[in-house]
Chains A and B, each alone.
Chain A
Amino acid sequence: MARTAVVWCPDWPVRAAEADPTGPVAVVRANRVVACSPAARADGVAVGLRRRQAEARSPGLVVVPHDPAGEARRFEPVVAAVAAFTPRVEVVRPGVCAFTARGPARYFGGEERLATLVAEAAEAACPGGPGVERCQVGVADGLFAAGLAARYGVVVEPGRAAEFLAPMPVRVLGMAALVDLLDRLGIRTLGQLARLPSAQVLSRFGAEGATAQRRARGLDDRPLATRPPPDDLTVTAELDPPVERVDAAAFAAKSLADRLHAALADRGLSCTQVGIEAETEHGETLVRWWRHDGQLTSPALAERVRWQLEGWLGGPHPPTSGLVRLRLTPDEVVVDHGSQQGFWGGVAEADRQAARALARVQALLGPDTVLTAVPEGGRGPAEVVRLVPWGDDRGPARPPKVPWPGRVPAPLPAVVPERSLPAELADGEGRPLIIDGRGQPSAPPRRLSVAGGPWSEVVAWSAPWPCQERWWDPGGRRRRARMQVETAEGRALLLVVESGRWLVEAVYD
């Protein structure tokens, strides 16, 4: 039985959400609480409660939507911190990862010590501050027992997993239907389940029951699917004697590029960016990154080595001695789909090319900077689309097809400023225009000034349409009125008034 260590970050969805984890926070999916912070738990909030019930129990509750992709992304630094101890780490789910304990335990001086070190490293890599539960590590035989050991932060000695598991309630198995049945039959603990004869368990509860019993007996049902360490694909050539001439270096680069291509092809990969590093006898180095879309052949790569070195040798800071080392580092390795083009399949190739370019921009600027839009239900011009980072799930959060009373009618404005500009709308006598509680303007609008600019004459305007949003929600309620106006210059604007202040929400440019 493999000794397995599990790292458990408590309340991961809460810690990954960008809310203060020391206060009461609940993460909600489909109107049900899926995770909550210790402060919220102290108020009586529990997983599975309806959102409204949770808010009733904890008045100051901050509710954040569930974001599985973001949770997985923010867990990556924690996995990297654990991978510093052992290269083969399996992410069980965001917030929990596992690794085989035997090797690292010997290296770091025992399982207890390893558990302490890993827990500290994981905690340091986690977002969040004081007042949240700390990351814990458990070591036991098999993944199931280790997962429970992590909840208690203990190391279970070899061969004693069944003993450790025996007093646990059957609920920890997590198989809802089976747990319910076992509970009604009076089988309350894992120890009771483990003592039943296995043949009868299989015939009465089926394969699921047999799996549950194996787990209860401390026998693991599967080995860890650990993430293999990434292969080092860098290829290096030592040049002896040192090379002084560019063409000789390019010749060496040709064979180096052949080796790189062979290594990539063995793994069915191609790389979209390659770094060429040249080092001289005196230790001067020049690194440059070259980009291509997967069809850079060995001669083409050698050509780039030539360009790079020619630029270096002819540039303002030429090297003082011959080259002793050339290194090619593939960066951004992607699965090679082949490069057959044209004929019928041109569009799919264009999609892949676009995806690579966008992934490259994400690598430059960060994952949340490249956005795609998803149509969504809403009233204002900025609410009817949701921007999601490229590569994330594009499912709509609010249904677009149902009626949204008070929605801005089509056509929608072409310019929606990120921050609405202040405006002044005045009637014929220069008084600011007021919309009363029944949605009637105090007078016909005559003049408009945007952001303190010059006044322009209003030639046409719509009746204001009032919009009451989320009247049931004290934090999110808004009472506004929108109005379209057209000025004598032919500009059409969407204005919104809230608490007596006019803003330009959008421009029909």
Chain B
Amino acid sequence: MEVAELREWSRPATLAGERTLPVLPALAPVLPSGLRRGAIVGVSGPGATSVALALLAGPSRAGSWVAVVGLPDLGVAAADEAGMDLSRLALVPHPGDRGPVVAATLVDGLDVVVVGPGAGIGPADARRLAARTRQRGAVLVAAARPWSERCDIELSVAASAWVGLERGCGHLSRRLLEVAAGGRRGNRRRTRMWMPSGEGAPLPWEPGPPTEETNGVTDGCRPGPVRLVAG
């Protein structure tokens, strides 16, 4: 056993100074120090759901509980593929008019809470919820638009390109996403990742010589170059 591995094993589960939740390596360039507890993260634009899933996969794999409030359309199977632990994922798809109360209760007990448009959180609720999140040391992911509070970190999709689907053959096999970080504490950086990567969890994009795509059906069908489309 390597020394580094041994150290990882013998590390206490909760350190007094441990105030961050881990993120996947694919998101490390935009969140170099992980997800700080108490942070409000906004995700927006087309592809926001995938970015949110990639963001949640890190804490979920490390044992954190994740709740999703007011997002009835979430594809839970995609969350499973992205590497989230479904046994620690709770969904409240239809909180009705109790959305703010439900979100506040979940912030009290869970590490990461995602609020969607179905949670019905108005500006005053958003302010209270943000204050509560900071106080309890949870992470709030706002997938609801408009989210009136200023976010600590804003993640958005700058560009995306699907690979694998051709004109009448193949199937969607993976997607290159360019994620841009902004917001009060965001570091204005961009990163490219494969999400979904076709192999489970999102993978960082490695620049290099283009390789022959082997995914998809190839009879008479040549995969074209990756085409980035501004999102």
Q: Which residues of A contact B (CB under 8 A)?
A: 291, 293, 341-347, 350-351, 353-358, 360-361, 364-365, 369-375, 381, 384-385, 387, 390, 394, 409-418, 441, 444, 459-463, 484-486, 488-492, 506, 508-509
A370: B residues at CB distance < 8 A: 90-92
6 A-B pairs with the lowest CB-CB distances in the bound complex, closest first: A357-B109, A411-B196, A490-B229, A346-B14, A354-B65, A414-B49
- Cβ–Cβ contact B49 & A373, under 8 A: no
Nearest CB of chain A from residue B43's CB, rounded to whole Å: 11
What are 10 pairs between A and B in contact, CB < 8 Å?
A361-B106, A364-B105, A365-B92, A410-B198, A411-B196, A415-B49, A417-B73, A462-B165, A462-B168, A462-B171
Segment of B22-30, B31-39, B95-103 engaged in the interface with chain A: B95-103
Q: Is B111 an interface residue (CB 8 A)?
A: yes
- Cβ–Cβ contact B77 & A492, under 8 A: no
A417: B residues at CB distance < 8 A: 73
Q: With contacts A365-B95, A409-B171, A415-B74 known, is A508 near B86, CB below 8 A?
A: no
Nearest CB of chain A from residue B116's CB, rounded to whole Å: 11
Q: Which of B77, B109, B171, B175 contacts A354 (CB 8 A)?
A: B109
Please, how many angstroms separate the alpha-carbon atoms of A341 and B14 in the complex?
9
Q: Is B167 an interface residue (CB 8 A)?
A: yes
Q: Closest residue to A413 on the B side, CB-wise?
A: B75
Please, how many angstroms separate the alpha-carbon atoms of A388 and B105 in the complex?
21
A484: B residues at CB distance < 8 A: 165, 171-172
A354: B residues at CB distance < 8 A: 65, 88, 90, 109-110
- Cβ–Cβ contact A373 & B80, under 8 A: yes
A358: B residues at CB distance < 8 A: 67, 90, 106, 109
- Cβ–Cβ contact A509 & B171, under 8 A: no
Of residues A342, A357, A390, A459, which shows the largest number of chain B Cβ atoms within 10 Å of its Cβ? Answer: A357
Nearest CB of chain A from residue B47's CB, rounded to whole Å: 6
Please, how many angstroms separate the alpha-carbon atoms of A413 and B197 in the complex?
12
B63: A residues at CB distance < 8 A: 347, 350
B174: A residues at CB distance < 8 A: 411
Q: Which of B89, B108, B165 contacts A492 (CB 8 A)?
A: B165
- Cβ–Cβ contact A357 & B165, under 8 A: no
Please, how many angstroms separate the alpha-carbon atoms of A417 and B73 in the complex?
4
Q: Closest residue to B159 on the A side, CB-wise?
A: A490
Q: With contacts A410-B198, A414-B78 known, is A369 near B94, CB below 8 A?
A: yes
Nearest CB of chain B from residue A507's CB, rounded to whole Å: 8
Contact with A along B59-84 (1 / 0, CB 8 A): 00001110100001111111111000
Q: Which of B46, B72, B90 contacts A509 (CB 8 A)?
A: B46
Nearest CB of chain B from residue A118's CB, rounded to whole Å: 37
- Cβ–Cβ contact A444 & B65, under 8 A: no
Q: Is B162 an interface residue (CB 8 A)?
A: yes
Q: Contacts A372-B89, A373-B76, A416-B76 given; 19 further ones with Cβ under 8 A?
A: A293-B108, A341-B14, A344-B12, A345-B13, A354-B109, A354-B110, A361-B102, A387-B91, A411-B78, A411-B173, A412-B196, A460-B167, A484-B172, A489-B229, A490-B160, A492-B172, A508-B172, A508-B175, A509-B47
Please, how many angstroms separate the alpha-carbon atoms of A459 and B13 in the complex?
50
Please, how many angstroms separate the alpha-carbon atoms of A107 and B87 in the complex?
50
Q: Is B131 an interface residue (CB 8 A)?
A: no
A360: B residues at CB distance < 8 A: 105, 109
Q: Is B40 an interface residue (CB 8 A)?
A: no
Please, how many angstroms separate the alpha-carbon atoms of A418 and B48 in the complex?
18
Q: Is B186 an interface residue (CB 8 A)?
A: no
Nearest CB of chain A from residue B16's CB, rounded to whole Å: 8
- Cβ–Cβ contact B166 & A416, under 8 A: no
Q: Is B121 an interface residue (CB 8 A)?
A: no
B94: A residues at CB distance < 8 A: 369
B229: A residues at CB distance < 8 A: 488-490
A488: B residues at CB distance < 8 A: 229
B14: A residues at CB distance < 8 A: 341-342, 346
- Cβ–Cβ contact B76 & A385, under 8 A: yes
A413: B residues at CB distance < 8 A: 75, 78
- Cβ–Cβ contact B73 & A415, under 8 A: yes
Q: Closest residue to B72 on the A side, CB-wise?
A: A418
- Cβ–Cβ contact B77 & A385, under 8 A: yes
Q: Is B169 an interface residue (CB 8 A)?
A: yes
Of residues B95, B108, B172, which shows the largest number of chain A Cβ atoms within 10 Å of its Cβ? Answer: B172
Please, how many angstroms separate the alpha-carbon atoms of A418 and B76 in the complex?
12
Contact with A along B156-195 (1 / 0, CB 8 A): 0000111001111111111100000000000000000000
- Cβ–Cβ contact B162 & A492, under 8 A: yes
Q: Which of A341, A385, A409, A444 contacts B80 (CB 8 A)?
A: A385
Q: Closest residue to A417 on the B side, CB-wise?
A: B73
Q: Is B122 an interface residue (CB 8 A)?
A: no
Nearest CB of chain A from residue B101's CB, rounded to whole Å: 6
Nearest CB of chain A from residue B108's CB, rounded to whole Å: 6
A351: B residues at CB distance < 8 A: 65
- Cβ–Cβ contact A462 & B170, under 8 A: yes
Nearest CB of chain A from residue B100's CB, rounded to whole Å: 11
Q: Which of A369, A381, A385, A509 contacts B50 (CB 8 A)?
A: A509
Q: With contacts A416-B74, A489-B229 known, is A356 near B109, CB below 8 A?
A: yes
